[in-house]
């Protein structure tokens, strides 16, 4: 099951970092790193002390192309979960996914 991006704050973080920006291939790696850290900190504020967090952020230039992103992992469907948000701007797209894996 997917957790709400609104409840995790992922949508807010991405909008804060990317709204009114134009795609810049030289800045995109820095934006990815900053968004990743901000999402991780926002999710930690939800009180998930027993969870290992992994955050993945992809930013690319928007030219009308499609994008497919896949992920595979082993986890416990009773305790582990993820949330993701897809941002589409005039010149770029961003996909952020936060995984929470319960630490036994």
Tell me: pLDDT of 7 over 80. Answer: no
The pLDDT of residue 32 is 97
Answer whether 56's CB lies under 8 Å from 97's CB.
yes
Paired sense of beta strands 51-61 and 92-102, if any: antiparallel
Its pTM stands at 0.87
Q: State the average pLDDT over residues 76-98.
A: 92
**pLDDT tens figures, 23-73:** 999 999 999 999 999 999 998 888 888 889 999 999 999 998 888 888 888
Answer whether 54's CB lies under 8 Å from 99's CB.
yes
Q: State the average pLDDT over residues 65-93.
A: 89
Which one is predicted more confidently, 93 or 7? 93
**In the predicted model, what is the mean pLDDT of the chain?**
90
The pLDDT of residue 72 is 82
- Report residue 99 as tokens: 């995984």
Give CA–CA dist 13/18, Å, rounded.
Answer: 9
How many other β-carbons are positioned within 10 Å of the β-carbon of residue 53? 14
Residue 17 belongs to what H/E stretch? helix 10-18
């Amino acid at each position: 099951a997917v957790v709400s991006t609104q409840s995790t704050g992922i949508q807010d973080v991405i909008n804060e970092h990317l709204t009114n920006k134009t795609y810049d291939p030289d800045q995109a790696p820095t934006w990815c790193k900053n968004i990743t850290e901000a999402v991780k900190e926002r999710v930690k504020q939800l009180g998930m002390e027993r969870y290992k967090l992994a955050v993945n952020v992809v930013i690319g230039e928007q030219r009308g192309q499609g994008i497919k992103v896949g992920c595979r992992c082993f986890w416990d469907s009773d305790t582990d979960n993820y949330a993701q948000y897809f941002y589409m701007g005039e010149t770029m797209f961003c996909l952020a996914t936060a995984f929470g894996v319960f630490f036994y």
